[in-house]
Chains A and B, each alone.
Chain A
């Protein structure tokens, strides 16, 4: 028993370092992508790394053109949130969550009342709106890196506990919460901010490519977060694929046999011992000497990243762990993009998810309304009659570059309108 626990202590004490330090850059990138792809499947834009410090009203400056964003999103699986411009504090939570306990505006706007309910009280999200995520399956291999990796420590811990070279597993995001502000409220807030900061935003107005090709066309967006998803607890179950990863030489410990129903007392003691080791091994150095167990009750230390890992179940071929963050962390968000136009004006919102998933809702570049000239005024009533709409559509397809009828009527197409009047309205008579 003692030698087994020593072995476990050795494994656990190095695994947090091993799992990250020995990973190549490619493997780390794959960790981010695989995790993000799983979250993305739930129609949520993933956050990587997980953070507590993201909330509705956060405004990011997005410099990458939309097409490049899509490429980056598909390649990496997530979008870096790097240029935080401001944090709006729009009021509206009280009205939006009317009757919801502990939801108010001002200093106690979400998530503060849940994060810090009192001077000495721990976070309490029990009153927050609940969300649920599906269970994700993944495979993990010690030799090939993590095929599906997650930014929680339970997977490498579990793999080492299994002493296996590879495993399949499931991850369940428990204790998930969400909160938001309606798009309408956010719209008012960001447009007011845009008006107040037009001088600042004007440096990001769109640029046209220069003839000498020394500069390319660029367009900037403000990405405004309007909903976030948080998770406090992650359950990870791993099932070993193969026989044991270690060789058969003398001194190599055998895999854990924690669940021995024939000897429940011994099983409970071993569970307690393993959890104590996990807690000690992952506690910050300054706290590692503090007592962690009182009798049979194990008190887990906070991890350096702000959570605890506890063993829930283990057999020779499977292991289940529960990782609990100190406070819920944001794993994903929904947002809207506002293009920055000339003179620092903010345009209409476009759903970030729609853009990234290639469901671009608005077609093409914004054109300037030039008024309804004389020909436009003749064409508008004409297309309401009989099959004239189809005639105009066919004419535009063949002779008008297939431009949209709305663009044709009030855009910079006076010449085309003149030709349509000549060809379709005046000529048949």
Chain B
């Protein structure tokens, strides 16, 4: 049984976006990752990080 593809994650702080993207890209099926600014909470920017298997454009 293969692992499930990674899920999109919300509320990812700016300083950990790179690590979350890195973890998502450990799955070789993931070819694109979308990073969307979400909000600034307590002076810290937060992002939605969404992995894509198929070209989302």
Contacts and interface: CB of A to CB of B under 8 A. Distances in A.
Is chain B's interface secondary structure helix, strand, loop, or mixed overall?
mixed
A196 B8 CA distance: 24
Interface string B10-38: 11110010011001101100001010101
Nearest to A343: B39
B54 A405 contact: no
A369 B4 contact: no
B10 A366 contact: yes
B56 interface: yes
B20 to A, nearest CB: 6
B9 A369 contact: yes
Nearest to A396: B3
A348 B51 CA distance: 10
Nearest to B21: A406
Given A359-B54, A372-B16, A410-B20, A364 B36 contact: no
A380 B19 contact: yes
Contacts of A369: 9-13, 16, 20, 49
B7 A410 contact: no
B56 A404 contact: no
Contacts of A411: 7, 9
Contact of B9 (A368, A380, A402, A403): A368
Nearest to B23: A406
B46 to A, nearest CB: 8
B27 A404 contact: yes
Chain A contact patch, size range:
35 or more
A263 B56 CA distance: 60
A403 B8 CA distance: 13
A367 B10 contact: yes
A417 interface: no
Contacts of B56: 336, 349-351, 354, 361-362
Contact of B57 (A183, A366, A402, A409): A183
Contacts of A372: 16, 19
Contacts of B5: 363-364, 404
A404 B11 contact: no
A68 interface: no
- The listed residue with most B CB atoms (<10 A of its CB), out of A366, A403, A404, A405, is A404
B9 A361 contact: no
A348 B8 contact: yes
Interface string A44-66: 00000000000000000000000
Interface string A339-361: 00100010111110010000111
B34 A397 contact: no
B53 A404 contact: no
A338 to B, nearest CB: 10
A389 B36 contact: no
Contact of A364 (B7, B13, B24, B39): B7
Which 9 residue pairs across A and B have the least CB separation, nearest first? A363-B5, A406-B23, A406-B6, A404-B6, A361-B52, A359-B54, A366-B8, A348-B50, A364-B7
Interface of A: 183, 191, 336, 341, 345, 347-351, 354, 359-369, 371-372, 380, 383, 389, 393, 396-397, 402-407, 409-411
10 contacts: A341-B10, A345-B38, A351-B54, A362-B51, A362-B53, A363-B7, A367-B8, A404-B5, A406-B23, A407-B9
Interface of B: 1-13, 16, 19-20, 23-24, 26-27, 32, 34, 36, 38-39, 48-57
